[in-house]
Chains A and B, each alone.
Chain A
Amino acid sequence: MAIIKLTSRIKVMERKPMSFMERIYLPAVFKGMAITLSHLFKKKTTISYPEQKRPMSDVFRGLHILKRDENGAERCTACGLCALACPAEAITMTAAERKAGEQLLYREEKYAAVYEINMLRCIFCGLCEEACPKAAIFLQNDVMAPPSFERGDFIYGKDRLVEPFPQI
Protein backbone atom coordinates (compact mmCIF):
# COMPACT_ATOMS: atom_id res chain seq x y z
CA MET A 1 0.00 0.00 0.00
CA ALA A 2 1.47 3.28 -1.15
CA ILE A 3 1.78 6.16 1.36
CA ILE A 4 0.29 9.36 0.04
CA LYS A 5 2.42 12.31 1.16
CA LEU A 6 0.32 15.40 1.82
CA THR A 7 3.31 17.49 2.88
CA SER A 8 7.06 17.37 2.66
CA ARG A 9 7.48 18.18 6.39
CA ILE A 10 6.58 14.78 7.74
CA LYS A 11 8.62 13.66 10.81
CA VAL A 12 8.85 9.99 11.41
CA MET A 13 8.79 9.24 15.17
CA GLU A 14 11.07 6.62 16.56
CA ARG A 15 9.38 4.42 19.14
CA LYS A 16 12.25 3.51 21.42
CA PRO A 17 11.67 1.53 24.63
CA MET A 18 11.90 3.71 27.84
CA SER A 19 15.25 3.87 29.60
CA PHE A 20 15.63 2.80 33.25
CA MET A 21 15.46 6.40 34.58
CA GLU A 22 12.33 7.00 32.62
CA ARG A 23 10.77 3.77 33.81
CA ILE A 24 11.03 4.64 37.53
CA TYR A 25 9.13 7.95 36.93
CA LEU A 26 10.51 9.59 40.08
CA PRO A 27 12.83 12.20 38.45
CA ALA A 28 9.85 13.54 36.42
CA VAL A 29 7.67 13.64 39.54
CA PHE A 30 10.28 15.62 41.49
CA LYS A 31 10.77 17.98 38.58
CA GLY A 32 7.06 18.74 38.60
CA MET A 33 6.97 19.17 42.39
CA ALA A 34 9.86 21.64 42.16
CA ILE A 35 7.89 23.83 39.78
CA THR A 36 4.90 23.74 42.14
CA LEU A 37 7.12 24.57 45.12
CA SER A 38 8.72 27.50 43.36
CA HIS A 39 5.27 29.07 42.83
CA LEU A 40 4.71 29.17 46.61
CA PHE A 41 7.36 31.89 46.90
CA LYS A 42 6.16 33.98 43.96
CA LYS A 43 3.88 37.02 44.30
CA LYS A 44 0.20 36.03 44.23
CA THR A 45 -1.92 37.38 41.38
CA THR A 46 -5.26 36.66 43.06
CA ILE A 47 -6.90 37.93 46.22
CA SER A 48 -9.22 36.07 48.57
CA TYR A 49 -12.37 37.93 47.50
CA PRO A 50 -14.97 38.26 50.21
CA GLU A 51 -12.39 39.30 52.85
CA GLN A 52 -10.24 41.37 50.52
CA LYS A 53 -11.64 43.69 47.87
CA ARG A 54 -10.00 45.44 45.00
CA PRO A 55 -10.53 49.19 44.67
CA MET A 56 -13.49 49.92 42.37
CA SER A 57 -13.61 52.62 39.75
CA ASP A 58 -15.82 55.66 40.31
CA VAL A 59 -17.66 54.87 37.12
CA PHE A 60 -18.23 51.20 37.96
CA ARG A 61 -21.77 50.09 37.15
CA GLY A 62 -23.04 47.75 39.84
CA LEU A 63 -26.36 47.02 41.46
CA HIS A 64 -29.29 49.34 40.66
CA ILE A 65 -30.92 51.62 43.18
CA LEU A 66 -34.21 53.51 42.94
CA LYS A 67 -33.58 56.88 44.53
CA ARG A 68 -35.80 58.98 46.76
CA ASP A 69 -35.99 62.75 46.51
CA GLU A 70 -34.99 65.22 49.21
CA ASN A 71 -38.30 64.64 51.04
CA GLY A 72 -37.97 60.87 50.96
CA ALA A 73 -40.56 60.31 48.22
CA GLU A 74 -39.87 57.79 45.48
CA ARG A 75 -38.74 59.52 42.33
CA CYS A 76 -39.76 56.77 39.91
CA THR A 77 -42.99 57.50 38.06
CA ALA A 78 -43.15 54.25 36.04
CA CYS A 79 -42.75 55.99 32.70
CA GLY A 80 -41.26 52.85 31.20
CA LEU A 81 -38.35 54.52 29.44
CA CYS A 82 -35.77 52.38 31.28
CA ALA A 83 -37.57 49.23 30.20
CA LEU A 84 -37.73 50.55 26.64
CA ALA A 85 -34.04 51.43 26.61
CA CYS A 86 -32.97 48.13 28.20
CA PRO A 87 -31.23 46.01 25.54
CA ALA A 88 -31.60 42.87 27.65
CA GLU A 89 -35.28 43.49 28.47
CA ALA A 90 -34.53 42.94 32.14
CA ILE A 91 -36.91 45.56 33.53
CA THR A 92 -40.66 45.20 34.01
CA MET A 93 -43.04 47.45 35.87
CA THR A 94 -46.65 48.04 36.69
CA ALA A 95 -47.90 51.54 37.30
CA ALA A 96 -50.51 52.69 39.78
CA GLU A 97 -52.17 55.95 40.61
CA ARG A 98 -51.17 57.79 43.76
CA LYS A 99 -53.99 58.11 46.25
CA ALA A 100 -54.69 61.14 48.40
CA GLY A 101 -52.35 61.28 51.37
CA GLU A 102 -49.48 59.46 49.66
CA GLN A 103 -47.71 62.61 48.51
CA LEU A 104 -44.82 61.97 50.88
CA LEU A 105 -44.36 58.43 49.57
CA TYR A 106 -44.49 59.09 45.84
CA ARG A 107 -43.28 62.21 44.11
CA GLU A 108 -45.60 62.12 41.08
CA GLU A 109 -49.24 61.35 40.37
CA LYS A 110 -48.27 57.94 39.05
CA TYR A 111 -45.81 55.54 40.65
CA ALA A 112 -44.44 52.05 40.11
CA ALA A 113 -46.48 49.57 42.13
CA VAL A 114 -44.27 46.74 40.89
CA TYR A 115 -40.75 47.29 39.61
CA GLU A 116 -38.59 44.30 38.87
CA ILE A 117 -35.14 43.88 37.42
CA ASN A 118 -33.91 40.44 36.45
CA MET A 119 -30.23 40.57 37.39
CA LEU A 120 -29.50 37.45 35.36
CA ARG A 121 -30.66 39.25 32.25
CA CYS A 122 -29.14 42.60 33.14
CA ILE A 123 -25.85 43.37 31.43
CA PHE A 124 -25.15 46.45 33.60
CA CYS A 125 -24.82 48.72 30.60
CA GLY A 126 -26.37 51.71 32.37
CA LEU A 127 -28.77 52.65 29.58
CA CYS A 128 -31.66 52.70 32.08
CA GLU A 129 -29.81 55.32 34.06
CA GLU A 130 -29.32 57.40 30.93
CA ALA A 131 -32.95 57.05 29.83
CA CYS A 132 -34.48 58.01 33.18
CA PRO A 133 -36.11 61.47 32.93
CA LYS A 134 -36.67 61.67 36.70
CA ALA A 135 -33.15 60.79 37.92
CA ALA A 136 -34.69 57.84 39.74
CA ILE A 137 -32.58 54.83 38.77
CA PHE A 138 -28.84 54.68 39.24
CA LEU A 139 -26.22 51.95 39.08
CA GLN A 140 -24.19 52.03 42.29
CA ASN A 141 -20.42 52.07 41.95
CA ASP A 142 -19.73 50.15 45.17
CA VAL A 143 -22.34 47.38 45.33
CA MET A 144 -22.57 44.29 43.15
CA ALA A 145 -25.40 41.81 42.84
CA PRO A 146 -24.50 39.07 45.34
CA PRO A 147 -24.31 35.47 44.15
CA SER A 148 -27.00 32.96 44.96
CA PHE A 149 -27.90 29.34 44.28
CA GLU A 150 -31.55 30.16 43.54
CA ARG A 151 -32.57 31.72 40.24
CA GLY A 152 -35.53 33.42 41.87
CA ASP A 153 -33.18 35.40 44.09
CA PHE A 154 -31.97 37.37 41.11
CA ILE A 155 -35.31 38.98 40.37
CA TYR A 156 -35.03 42.16 42.38
CA GLY A 157 -38.28 43.81 43.38
CA LYS A 158 -38.90 47.17 44.94
CA ASP A 159 -38.08 45.79 48.39
CA ARG A 160 -34.43 45.46 47.42
CA LEU A 161 -34.14 48.22 44.81
CA VAL A 162 -35.63 51.27 46.52
CA GLU A 163 -33.21 53.32 48.55
CA PRO A 164 -33.88 52.91 52.27
CA PHE A 165 -35.41 55.87 54.07
CA PRO A 166 -32.73 58.37 55.08
CA GLN A 167 -31.64 57.82 58.69
CA ILE A 168 -32.39 60.83 60.84
Chain B
Amino acid sequence: MSDLLKVTIDGKSIEVAPGTTILQAARQIGDKYPPAMCYYTPLKNTGGKCRVCLVKVSQTSEANPRPIPKLVASCLTKVENGMVVENESSAEVLEARKGVVEFLLINHPLDCPICDQAGECDLQNLSYEHGTETTRYEEGRREFNKIDIGPHIQLHMTRCILCYRCVYAADQLTNSRVHGVLNRGDVSEISTYIQNSIDNDFSGNIIDVCPVGALTDKTYRFKQRVWFSKPYNAHRNCTKCSGKTVLWMKDENIIRVTARKNKFGEVEEFICNECRFDHRSKTDWVIEGVRDMGDDSVISANKYELPVVSPAVLVDSKFVSE
Protein backbone atom coordinates (compact mmCIF):
# COMPACT_ATOMS: atom_id res chain seq x y z
CA MET B 1 0.00 0.00 0.00
CA SER B 2 1.46 3.28 -1.08
CA ASP B 3 -0.76 5.58 0.97
CA LEU B 4 0.48 4.16 4.27
CA LEU B 5 3.17 6.19 6.01
CA LYS B 6 6.22 4.54 7.49
CA VAL B 7 7.32 5.90 10.85
CA THR B 8 10.17 4.72 13.07
CA ILE B 9 9.81 5.21 16.82
CA ASP B 10 12.73 4.22 19.04
CA GLY B 11 14.10 2.03 16.25
CA LYS B 12 10.84 0.18 15.64
CA SER B 13 9.03 0.79 12.37
CA ILE B 14 5.31 0.69 11.67
CA GLU B 15 3.14 1.69 8.73
CA VAL B 16 0.14 3.77 9.66
CA ALA B 17 -2.66 5.56 7.85
CA PRO B 18 -2.22 9.27 7.01
CA GLY B 19 -3.51 11.55 9.73
CA THR B 20 -2.32 9.32 12.57
CA THR B 21 -0.50 11.15 15.33
CA ILE B 22 2.89 10.06 16.64
CA LEU B 23 1.27 9.05 19.94
CA GLN B 24 -1.26 6.80 18.19
CA ALA B 25 1.50 5.22 16.10
CA ALA B 26 3.55 4.58 19.23
CA ARG B 27 0.53 3.01 20.90
CA GLN B 28 0.07 0.76 17.86
CA ILE B 29 3.66 -0.43 18.27
CA GLY B 30 2.62 -0.89 21.87
CA ASP B 31 6.03 -1.17 23.44
CA LYS B 32 6.89 2.10 25.14
CA TYR B 33 4.50 4.85 24.20
CA PRO B 34 4.64 8.42 25.46
CA PRO B 35 2.47 9.15 28.51
CA ALA B 36 -0.54 11.41 28.06
CA MET B 37 -2.26 13.40 30.76
CA CYS B 38 -4.62 15.59 28.70
CA TYR B 39 -5.01 13.72 25.39
CA TYR B 40 -8.00 11.37 25.38
CA THR B 41 -8.90 9.41 22.25
CA PRO B 42 -12.68 9.19 22.81
CA LEU B 43 -12.93 12.98 23.22
CA LYS B 44 -12.40 15.36 20.32
CA ASN B 45 -9.96 18.27 20.46
CA THR B 46 -8.17 17.05 23.58
CA GLY B 47 -4.40 17.15 23.78
CA GLY B 48 -1.59 19.66 23.58
CA LYS B 49 -2.01 21.03 27.09
CA CYS B 50 0.02 18.96 29.51
CA ARG B 51 3.22 18.57 27.43
CA VAL B 52 4.21 15.23 28.96
CA CYS B 53 4.02 13.44 25.60
CA LEU B 54 6.91 15.46 24.17
CA VAL B 55 9.10 13.49 21.75
CA LYS B 56 12.10 14.31 19.60
CA VAL B 57 11.71 14.10 15.83
CA SER B 58 15.18 13.42 14.44
CA GLN B 59 14.04 13.19 10.81
CA THR B 60 10.92 15.03 9.68
CA SER B 61 10.24 12.89 6.61
CA GLU B 62 11.92 11.05 3.79
CA ALA B 63 11.83 14.16 1.60
CA ASN B 64 13.00 16.44 4.39
CA PRO B 65 15.62 14.64 6.51
CA ARG B 66 16.23 17.58 8.84
CA PRO B 67 15.17 17.18 12.47
CA ILE B 68 12.47 19.35 14.03
CA PRO B 69 14.51 21.75 16.20
CA LYS B 70 12.25 21.62 19.24
CA LEU B 71 10.54 18.73 20.97
CA VAL B 72 7.00 18.23 19.69
CA ALA B 73 3.81 17.13 21.42
CA SER B 74 3.27 13.64 20.05
CA CYS B 75 -0.49 13.72 20.66
CA LEU B 76 -1.00 16.52 18.11
CA THR B 77 1.80 15.98 15.59
CA LYS B 78 0.80 13.95 12.56
CA VAL B 79 3.25 11.41 11.19
CA GLU B 80 4.90 11.85 7.82
CA ASN B 81 6.41 9.21 5.59
CA GLY B 82 9.88 8.28 6.73
CA MET B 83 9.62 10.15 10.02
CA VAL B 84 12.09 9.06 12.71
CA VAL B 85 11.01 9.69 16.29
CA GLU B 86 12.94 9.26 19.52
CA ASN B 87 10.82 8.68 22.57
CA GLU B 88 12.54 7.23 25.62
CA SER B 89 15.79 6.58 23.76
CA SER B 90 16.49 10.31 23.79
CA ALA B 91 17.99 11.80 26.95
CA GLU B 92 16.63 15.20 25.90
CA VAL B 93 13.06 13.87 25.95
CA LEU B 94 13.48 12.28 29.38
CA GLU B 95 15.00 15.47 30.75
CA ALA B 96 12.14 17.55 29.33
CA ARG B 97 9.56 15.17 30.75
CA LYS B 98 11.19 15.37 34.15
CA GLY B 99 10.80 19.14 33.97
CA VAL B 100 7.16 18.88 32.90
CA VAL B 101 6.38 16.53 35.78
CA GLU B 102 8.02 18.93 38.17
CA PHE B 103 5.84 21.75 36.87
CA LEU B 104 2.68 19.63 37.06
CA LEU B 105 3.51 18.81 40.67
CA ILE B 106 4.32 22.38 41.69
CA ASN B 107 0.77 23.07 42.75
CA HIS B 108 -0.29 19.51 43.38
CA PRO B 109 -0.81 18.95 47.11
CA LEU B 110 0.71 15.41 47.04
CA ASP B 111 -1.98 14.21 49.41
CA CYS B 112 -2.01 10.72 47.89
CA PRO B 113 -2.55 9.05 51.30
CA ILE B 114 -5.92 10.82 51.49
CA CYS B 115 -6.82 10.88 47.81
CA ASP B 116 -9.31 8.30 46.53
CA GLN B 117 -7.60 8.22 43.14
CA ALA B 118 -4.34 6.86 44.57
CA GLY B 119 -3.56 3.52 42.99
CA GLU B 120 -5.19 4.34 39.67
CA CYS B 121 -3.86 7.85 39.22
CA ASP B 122 -2.13 8.82 35.98
CA LEU B 123 -0.14 11.54 37.69
CA GLN B 124 1.15 9.06 40.27
CA ASN B 125 2.31 6.69 37.54
CA LEU B 126 3.81 9.54 35.56
CA SER B 127 5.79 10.98 38.44
CA TYR B 128 6.89 7.51 39.46
CA GLU B 129 8.28 6.84 35.99
CA HIS B 130 9.45 10.27 34.94
CA GLY B 131 9.63 12.48 38.00
CA THR B 132 12.23 13.10 40.65
CA GLU B 133 12.15 11.65 44.12
CA THR B 134 12.03 14.91 46.02
CA THR B 135 10.54 18.34 45.44
CA ARG B 136 12.54 21.55 45.13
CA TYR B 137 9.47 23.73 45.54
CA GLU B 138 9.25 25.58 48.83
CA GLU B 139 6.62 28.24 48.22
CA GLY B 140 2.97 27.87 49.15
CA ARG B 141 0.74 25.86 46.88
CA ARG B 142 -2.53 27.02 45.33
CA GLU B 143 -5.53 27.12 47.61
CA PHE B 144 -9.18 27.33 46.68
CA ASN B 145 -12.49 27.81 48.36
CA LYS B 146 -14.27 24.47 48.37
CA ILE B 147 -17.14 24.34 45.91
CA ASP B 148 -19.89 21.76 46.08
CA ILE B 149 -20.64 20.72 42.50
CA GLY B 150 -23.45 18.32 43.21
CA PRO B 151 -24.46 15.27 45.19
CA HIS B 152 -22.44 12.74 43.18
CA ILE B 153 -19.15 14.37 42.30
CA GLN B 154 -16.51 15.70 44.64
CA LEU B 155 -14.21 18.43 43.33
CA HIS B 156 -10.73 18.86 44.82
CA MET B 157 -9.46 21.85 42.90
CA THR B 158 -6.00 21.74 44.50
CA ARG B 159 -5.29 18.41 42.80
CA CYS B 160 -6.34 19.59 39.31
CA ILE B 161 -3.70 19.81 36.59
CA LEU B 162 -6.01 21.72 34.20
CA CYS B 163 -6.05 19.12 31.44
CA TYR B 164 -9.57 20.22 30.35
CA ARG B 165 -10.64 16.60 29.80
CA CYS B 166 -13.72 16.98 31.98
CA VAL B 167 -14.74 20.14 30.14
CA TYR B 168 -14.55 18.37 26.79
CA ALA B 169 -16.34 15.34 28.22
CA ALA B 170 -19.19 17.47 29.47
CA ASP B 171 -19.33 19.37 26.17
CA GLN B 172 -19.41 16.28 24.04
CA LEU B 173 -21.43 13.85 26.17
CA THR B 174 -24.06 15.97 27.83
CA ASN B 175 -26.51 18.35 26.27
CA SER B 176 -25.79 21.32 28.50
CA ARG B 177 -22.51 21.83 30.24
CA VAL B 178 -22.71 23.74 33.48
CA HIS B 179 -19.06 23.62 34.50
CA GLY B 180 -15.91 24.90 32.95
CA VAL B 181 -12.63 26.62 33.63
CA LEU B 182 -12.94 30.02 35.26
CA ASN B 183 -10.21 32.66 35.43
CA ARG B 184 -6.85 32.51 33.69
CA GLY B 185 -3.29 31.42 34.19
CA ASP B 186 -2.16 30.43 37.63
CA VAL B 187 -5.53 31.13 39.24
CA SER B 188 -7.67 29.26 36.70
CA GLU B 189 -9.96 26.68 38.24
CA ILE B 190 -12.56 24.10 37.32
CA SER B 191 -15.85 25.26 38.70
CA THR B 192 -19.54 25.49 38.08
CA TYR B 193 -20.92 28.85 37.11
CA ILE B 194 -22.70 30.49 40.05
CA GLN B 195 -22.62 27.22 42.03
CA ASN B 196 -24.77 25.23 39.61
CA SER B 197 -24.80 21.59 40.47
CA ILE B 198 -24.02 19.06 37.79
CA ASP B 199 -26.93 16.74 37.11
CA ASN B 200 -26.78 15.64 33.50
CA ASP B 201 -27.30 11.99 32.66
CA PHE B 202 -23.70 11.51 31.60
CA SER B 203 -21.96 13.95 33.91
CA GLY B 204 -20.50 11.14 36.02
CA ASN B 205 -18.06 10.37 33.22
CA ILE B 206 -15.99 13.39 34.15
CA ILE B 207 -14.88 11.29 37.15
CA ASP B 208 -13.50 8.63 34.84
CA VAL B 209 -11.78 10.98 32.43
CA CYS B 210 -10.04 12.94 35.21
CA PRO B 211 -6.41 11.75 35.21
CA VAL B 212 -5.89 12.86 38.81
CA GLY B 213 -8.04 12.90 41.94
CA ALA B 214 -9.59 16.30 41.27
CA LEU B 215 -12.97 14.81 40.37
CA THR B 216 -13.90 11.77 42.44
CA ASP B 217 -17.03 9.81 43.19
CA LYS B 218 -18.75 11.23 46.26
CA THR B 219 -20.51 7.93 46.98
CA TYR B 220 -17.09 6.26 47.08
CA ARG B 221 -15.40 8.94 49.16
CA PHE B 222 -13.06 7.34 51.72
CA LYS B 223 -14.98 4.04 51.47
CA GLN B 224 -11.98 1.91 50.65
CA ARG B 225 -8.57 2.17 49.08
CA VAL B 226 -8.69 1.14 45.43
CA TRP B 227 -6.36 -1.80 45.92
CA PHE B 228 -8.49 -3.36 48.64
CA SER B 229 -11.55 -3.52 46.40
CA LYS B 230 -11.92 -6.07 43.67
CA PRO B 231 -13.03 -5.18 40.14
CA TYR B 232 -15.58 -7.28 38.27
CA ASN B 233 -16.84 -6.85 34.74
CA ALA B 234 -20.61 -6.57 34.79
CA HIS B 235 -23.48 -5.36 32.64
CA ARG B 236 -27.15 -4.57 32.89
CA ASN B 237 -29.86 -3.60 30.46
CA CYS B 238 -29.81 0.16 30.39
CA THR B 239 -31.92 2.34 28.14
CA LYS B 240 -29.50 5.25 28.28
CA CYS B 241 -26.09 3.65 27.81
CA SER B 242 -24.44 0.34 26.94
CA GLY B 243 -24.62 -0.73 30.58
CA LYS B 244 -21.15 -2.29 30.44
CA THR B 245 -19.33 -1.36 33.61
CA VAL B 246 -16.76 -2.40 36.20
CA LEU B 247 -18.13 -3.11 39.67
CA TRP B 248 -15.69 -2.49 42.52
CA MET B 249 -16.57 -4.86 45.32
CA LYS B 250 -15.44 -5.13 48.90
CA ASP B 251 -16.58 -8.45 50.28
CA GLU B 252 -20.12 -8.72 48.91
CA ASN B 253 -20.87 -5.01 48.61
CA ILE B 254 -20.65 -2.93 45.48
CA ILE B 255 -18.86 0.20 46.63
CA ARG B 256 -18.26 1.83 43.27
CA VAL B 257 -19.24 1.53 39.62
CA THR B 258 -17.03 2.85 36.83
CA ALA B 259 -16.79 2.60 33.08
CA ARG B 260 -14.41 0.10 31.53
CA LYS B 261 -11.03 1.48 30.62
CA ASN B 262 -8.61 0.07 28.07
CA LYS B 263 -4.89 -0.35 28.69
CA PHE B 264 -4.24 3.28 27.82
CA GLY B 265 -6.56 4.36 30.63
CA GLU B 266 -9.24 5.52 28.23
CA VAL B 267 -12.92 4.79 28.70
CA GLU B 268 -14.26 2.28 26.17
CA GLU B 269 -17.94 3.13 26.50
CA PHE B 270 -19.26 6.00 28.56
CA ILE B 271 -21.93 5.04 31.08
CA CYS B 272 -24.90 6.96 32.43
CA ASN B 273 -25.33 8.27 35.94
CA GLU B 274 -28.07 5.77 36.72
CA CYS B 275 -25.69 2.85 36.18
CA ARG B 276 -22.91 4.65 38.00
CA PHE B 277 -24.65 5.88 41.12
CA ASP B 278 -28.04 4.23 41.57
CA HIS B 279 -27.51 0.48 41.25
CA ARG B 280 -25.54 -0.84 44.20
CA SER B 281 -27.22 -4.19 44.65
CA LYS B 282 -25.74 -7.37 43.21
CA THR B 283 -29.15 -8.37 41.86
CA ASP B 284 -29.15 -5.36 39.51
CA TRP B 285 -26.15 -6.65 37.61
CA VAL B 286 -25.04 -9.62 35.56
CA ILE B 287 -21.49 -10.25 36.75
CA GLU B 288 -19.23 -11.58 34.00
CA GLY B 289 -16.11 -12.25 36.05
CA VAL B 290 -13.07 -10.74 37.69
CA ARG B 291 -11.48 -7.96 35.68
CA ASP B 292 -7.78 -8.39 34.95
CA MET B 293 -6.01 -5.17 35.86
CA GLY B 294 -2.57 -6.33 34.69
CA ASP B 295 0.33 -7.48 36.80
CA ASP B 296 1.89 -4.05 37.24
CA SER B 297 -1.22 -2.51 38.80
CA VAL B 298 -1.37 -2.19 42.57
CA ILE B 299 -5.02 -3.24 42.30
CA SER B 300 -3.82 -6.77 41.51
CA ALA B 301 -1.76 -6.94 44.71
CA ASN B 302 -2.70 -9.50 47.37
CA LYS B 303 -5.41 -11.16 45.29
CA TYR B 304 -4.57 -14.80 45.06
CA GLU B 305 -7.49 -16.45 43.32
CA LEU B 306 -6.74 -18.55 40.29
CA PRO B 307 -8.06 -17.25 36.99
CA VAL B 308 -11.47 -18.58 36.06
CA VAL B 309 -11.08 -20.79 33.00
CA SER B 310 -14.25 -21.66 31.18
CA PRO B 311 -14.66 -25.38 30.35
CA ALA B 312 -15.08 -24.54 26.67
CA VAL B 313 -11.56 -23.12 26.55
CA LEU B 314 -10.19 -26.21 28.27
CA VAL B 315 -11.77 -28.54 25.73
CA ASP B 316 -10.21 -26.58 22.85
CA SER B 317 -6.77 -26.33 24.37
CA LYS B 318 -4.03 -28.87 23.95
CA PHE B 319 -3.85 -29.47 27.71
CA VAL B 320 -6.77 -31.84 27.56
CA SER B 321 -5.69 -35.25 26.38
CA GLU B 322 -7.76 -37.13 23.85
The minimal Cβ–Cβ distance linking A116 to chain B, given in whole angstroms, is 14
- A114 touches B (CB below 8 Å): no
Give the segment of A14-22, A27-35, A73-81 that binds chain B. Answer: A73-81
Max chain B Cβ within 10 angstroms of own Cβ: one of A80, A108, A133:
A80
Partner of B114, one of A79, A84, A89: A79
Contact yes or no, A79 B113, CB < 8 A:
yes
- B222 touches A (CB below 8 Å): yes
Contact yes or no, A133 B113, CB < 8 A:
yes
Contact yes or no, A83 B113, CB < 8 A:
no
The minimal Cβ–Cβ distance linking A168 to chain B, given in whole angstroms, is 29
A96: chain B residues within 8 A (beta carbon) = 222
Separation of A108 and B302 alpha carbons in the complex (Å) = 27
The minimal Cβ–Cβ distance linking B225 to chain A, given in whole angstroms, is 4
Known: A84-B298, A84-B301, A89-B302. A79 touches B222 (CB 8 A): no
Known: A80-B227, A83-B228, A84-B298. A95 touches B222 (CB 8 A): yes
Nearest opposing residue in chain A for B110, CB measure: A133
A84: chain B residues within 8 A (beta carbon) = 225, 227-228, 298, 301-302
Nearest opposing residue in chain A for B226, CB measure: A80
Contact yes or no, A77 B113, CB < 8 A:
yes
Separation of A81 and B225 alpha carbons in the complex (Å) = 9
Contact yes or no, B228 A80, CB < 8 A:
yes
Known: A89-B302, A109-B114, A133-B113. A79 touches B225 (CB 8 A): yes
- A61 touches B (CB below 8 Å): no
Separation of A97 and B118 alpha carbons in the complex (Å) = 16
The minimal Cβ–Cβ distance linking A163 to chain B, given in whole angstroms, is 19
B280: chain A residues within 8 A (beta carbon) = none
- A158 touches B (CB below 8 Å): no
Known: A97-B221, A97-B222. A108 touches B301 (CB 8 A): no
- B112 touches A (CB below 8 Å): yes
Separation of A84 and B118 alpha carbons in the complex (Å) = 13
Separation of A91 and B224 alpha carbons in the complex (Å) = 14
Known: A80-B225, A97-B222. A108 touches B114 (CB 8 A): yes
B111: chain A residues within 8 A (beta carbon) = 108-109
Nearest opposing residue in chain A for B114, CB measure: A110
Nearest opposing residue in chain A for B118, CB measure: A79
B113: chain A residues within 8 A (beta carbon) = 77, 79, 81, 108, 110, 133-134
Interface string of A58-99 (1 = CB under 8 A from B): 000000000000000000011111011000010000011100
Interface residues of B in 190-240 (CB under 8 A from A): 221-225, 227-228
Contact yes or no, A79 B227, CB < 8 A:
no
The minimal Cβ–Cβ distance linking B158 to chain A, given in whole angstroms, is 11
Separation of A83 and B165 alpha carbons in the complex (Å) = 33
Contact yes or no, A77 B114, CB < 8 A:
yes
Nearest opposing residue in chain B for A97, CB measure: B222
Separation of A95 and B118 alpha carbons in the complex (Å) = 14
B222: chain A residues within 8 A (beta carbon) = 78, 95-97, 110
Separation of A89 and B224 alpha carbons in the complex (Å) = 16
The minimal Cβ–Cβ distance linking A78 to chain B, given in whole angstroms, is 8
Interface residues of A in 114-138 (CB under 8 A from B): 133-134
The minimal Cβ–Cβ distance linking A18 to chain B, given in whole angstroms, is 62
Separation of A8 and B225 alpha carbons in the complex (Å) = 70
The minimal Cβ–Cβ distance linking A84 to chain B, given in whole angstroms, is 6
B223: chain A residues within 8 A (beta carbon) = 95
Interface residues of B in 105-122 (CB under 8 A from A): 111-114, 118
The minimal Cβ–Cβ distance linking A81 to chain B, given in whole angstroms, is 7
Nearest opposing residue in chain B for A77, CB measure: B113
Nearest opposing residue in chain B for A95, CB measure: B222
The minimal Cβ–Cβ distance linking A99 to chain B, given in whole angstroms, is 12
B221: chain A residues within 8 A (beta carbon) = 97
The minimal Cβ–Cβ distance linking B92 to chain A, given in whole angstroms, is 33
Q: Which 6 A-B pairs have the closest CB atoms?
A: A79-B113, A80-B225, A95-B222, A110-B114, A77-B113, A110-B222
Sample of 20 further A-B pairs with CB below 8 A, known A79-B118, A84-B302:
A77-B114, A79-B112, A79-B113, A79-B114, A79-B225, A80-B227, A80-B228, A89-B302, A95-B222, A95-B223, A95-B224, A95-B225, A96-B222, A108-B111, A108-B113, A108-B114, A110-B114, A110-B222, A133-B112, A134-B113
12 example contacts (A-B, Cβ-Cβ < 8 A) are as follows A77-B113, A79-B114, A79-B118, A80-B228, A83-B228, A84-B298, A84-B301, A89-B302, A95-B222, A110-B113, A110-B114, A134-B113
What is A's interface to B at a CB cutoff of 8 Å?
A: 77-81, 83-84, 89, 95-97, 108-110, 133-134
